[in-house]
């Protein structure tokens, strides 16, 4: 992929690659940006991707050291049809629209995607009475391919689930995809089409907020000039809106904990298993992942905005999840939980999909309250936002004739298309035959290939999300240090400076001294 955008990291360590270091705005050219997107989550990246189809100067900023490093990395990875969305809302409209685009999008972006279908299951009378309402709602949302199933039909599709099933609904197009590759693919294509990307940059102030060209003041001491500001900063969108005095709204981060089961569990379940929400509880989902695991979750726990335990897990809630999920699939008690995680939904008290154009000032758009459906809706939401930018913020759209909209064939992740199954490739590059991550069977060649990929990932977690090394059942027991050594050798960064998520998360305590 040829790259015409510029990519830099605000990573000041002397050992970090000079050519990737952001030092001054001169590196980006002197002309102000047409659009600056603040927040490189799945929505920010999707918007950068869609905007890169036009002749525009676009900047994508994030305070973290990879795309999708905050709310976008922890979710159920379901591509929803929108069958149960609140009828008539923007969320419902965008989700149903996007769900029809996804099969094509996944092919273009080279994102593993599987239409596994979902089964909504009633296991008690209260749920049974709800089932018809859900069916009606699906039809109202335009999801007309749903099918009502008898208990026998449900058990034929999923023989391993609870025998207490009374009735069910099959939603054939509910799908699963790789949540990590999605933001990455959007951003890689955007970069190649000329979008500039900066990591490690946090906006701390805005000057000339009423002017045609506004100035973003950042933590690196440099200012960035831009005509339009797009606030897609997720949990940070509230704080950012305060900098320009946008219309008041509140974010209540809502935590969702998940259990990840070992791959041996996957053969038992083919569909996403959905409980029917009742007055008392929303219930626990059992979801196959595209990677070949099963996950169970989520919880729904409300937090206040600055609580830094929001991404923690708790033993009590995890046990509740296991008990809840086992109501649908009792065999889960027999399976091993290899790890757990918490996702955080960016929940807006004033309503989901809180979008305000010219928020407080001309040329600023606030996009918040994009909850867990943001992963699904991202392509349609990005297009909707471009429409708003054009109509309400006066952004001129001229198609860029040389822009590309897809990644190359070689971008398929190695865990999806095993490189060492191609003996010619191993003969040519033996590193593809050297397995580094034993559990997920990931080769040295794949790790090096990703270090060289357009966004130049340099952290352990960024490599983990791209290759799956460290994501298996041993959770890095065998390969964490191997991966750190590979990054160190290949990028000339001393091993003690290798980080999990960027500066401040070094694997070696900075006070510790080398000893012999």
Residues that bind another protein (CB under 8 A): 259-260, 264, 308-309, 311-316, 318, 334-341, 420-423, 426-427, 430-431, 433-435, 438-439, 441, 443, 460, 473-478, 480-481, 485, 495-496, 499-501, 504-509, 511-516
DSSP three-state, residue 225: strand
Query: Which residue number, 311 or 377, has a Cβ lying nearer to another protein?
Result: 311
Smallest separation (angstroms) from another protein to the CB of 158: 20
The answer to whether the CB of 53 falls within 8 A of the CB of 196 is no
Question: CB-wise, 13 or 115, nearer to another protein?
Answer: 13
Question: Looking at beta carbons only, is 230 or 484 nearer to another protein?
Answer: 484
Closest CA to 394 of 47, 31, 35, 30: 35
Residue among 336 and 349 whose Cβ is closer to another protein:
336
Residue position matching structure tokens 């008041």: 248
Q: Which of 382, 353, 394, 473 is nearest to 86 (CA)?
A: 353
- What is d(CA 371, CA 185) in angstroms, rounded to the nearest whole number? 21
Which entry of 80, 271, 361, 390 is annotated as an active-site residue?
A: 80
Q: Which of 183, 155, 212 is nearest to 42 (CA)?
A: 183
Provide, rounded to whole angstroms, the least separation between the CB of residue 65 and another protein. 11
Instruction: Supply the minimum distance, in Å, between the C-beta of residue 20 and another protein.
Output: 21
Going through 337-456 in order, the beta strands assigned E by DSSP cover 337-345, 354-357, 364-368, 435-437, 442-443
d(CA 473, CA 253): 29
Please, which residue, 390 or 427, has the CB nearer to another protein?
Answer: 427
Smallest separation, CB 501 to another protein (Å): 7
Residue 471 CB, nearest approach to another protein (Å): 12
Distances (CA, A) of 263 to 104, 277, 445: 28, 28, 24
Active site residue 80: yes
Residue 3 vs residues 126, 239, 487: alpha-carbon distances, Å: 56, 33, 22
What residues are labeled active site?
Answer: 80
């Amino acid at each position: 992929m040829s790259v015409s955008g510029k990519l830099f990291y605000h990573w000041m360590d002397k050992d970090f690659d000079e050519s990737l270091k952001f030092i001054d705005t001169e590196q980006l050219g002197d002309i102000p940006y047409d659009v600056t997107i603040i927040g490189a989550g799945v929505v920010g990246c999707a918007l950068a991707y869609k905007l890169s189809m036009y002749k525009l100067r676009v900047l994508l900023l994030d305070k973290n050291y990879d795309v999708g490093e905050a709310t976008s990395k922890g979710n159920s990875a379901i591509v929803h049809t929108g069958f149960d969305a609140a009828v008539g809302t923007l969320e419902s409209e965008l989700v149903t629209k996007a769900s029809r685009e996804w099969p094509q999008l996944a092919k273009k972006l080279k994102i593993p995607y599987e239409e596994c279908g979902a089964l909504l299951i009633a296991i008690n009378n209260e749920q049974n009475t709800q089932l018809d309402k859900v069916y009606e709602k699906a039809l109202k949302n335009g999801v007309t391919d749903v099918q009502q199933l008898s208990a026998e039909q449900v058990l034929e599709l999923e023989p391993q689930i609870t025998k207490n099933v009374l009735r069910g609904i099959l939603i054939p197009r509910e799908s699963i995809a790789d949540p990590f590759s999605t933001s990455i693919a959007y951003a890689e294509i955007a970069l190649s089409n000329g979008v500039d990307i900066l990591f490690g940059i946090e906006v701390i102030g805005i000057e000339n907020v009423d002017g045609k060209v506004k100035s973003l003041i950042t933590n690196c001491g440099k200012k960035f000039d831009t005509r339009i500001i797009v606030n897609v900063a997720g949990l940070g969108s509230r704080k950012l809106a305060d900098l320009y005095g946008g219309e008041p709204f509140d974010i209540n981060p809502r935590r969702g904990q998940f259990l990840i089961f070992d791959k041996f569990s996957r053969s038992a379940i083919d569909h996403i298993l959905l409980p029917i929400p009742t007055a008392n509880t929303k219930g626990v989902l059992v979801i196959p992942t595209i990677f070949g695991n099963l996950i169970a979750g989520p919880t729904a726990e409300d937090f206040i905005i600055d609580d830094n335990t929001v991404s923690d897990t708790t033993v009590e809630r995890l046990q509740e999840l296991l008990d809840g999920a086992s109501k649908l699939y009792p065999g889960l008690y027999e399976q091993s939980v290899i790890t757990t995680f918490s996702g955080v939904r960016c929940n807006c008290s004033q309503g989901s999909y809180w979008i305000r154009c010219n928020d407080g000032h001309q040329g600023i758009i606030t996009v918040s309250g994009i909850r867990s459906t943001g992963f699904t809706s991202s392509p349609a939401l990005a297009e909707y936002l471009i429409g708003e930018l054009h109509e309400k913020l006066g952004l001129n759209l001229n198609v860029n004739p040389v822009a590309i909209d897809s990644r190359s064939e070689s971008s398929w992740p190695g865990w999806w298309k095993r490189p060492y199954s191609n003996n010619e490739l191993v003969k040519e590059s033996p590193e593809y035959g050297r397995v580094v991550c034993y559990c997920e069977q990931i080769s040295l060649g794949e790790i090096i290939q990703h270090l060289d990929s357009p966004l130049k990932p340099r952290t352990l977690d960024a490599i983990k999300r791209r290759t799956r090394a460290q994501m298996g059942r041993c959770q890095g027991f065998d390969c964490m240090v191997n991966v750190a050594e590979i990054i160190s050798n290949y990028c000339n960064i001393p091993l003690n400076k290798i980080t999990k998520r960027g500066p401040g998360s070094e694997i070696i305590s900075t006070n510790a001294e080398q000893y012999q």
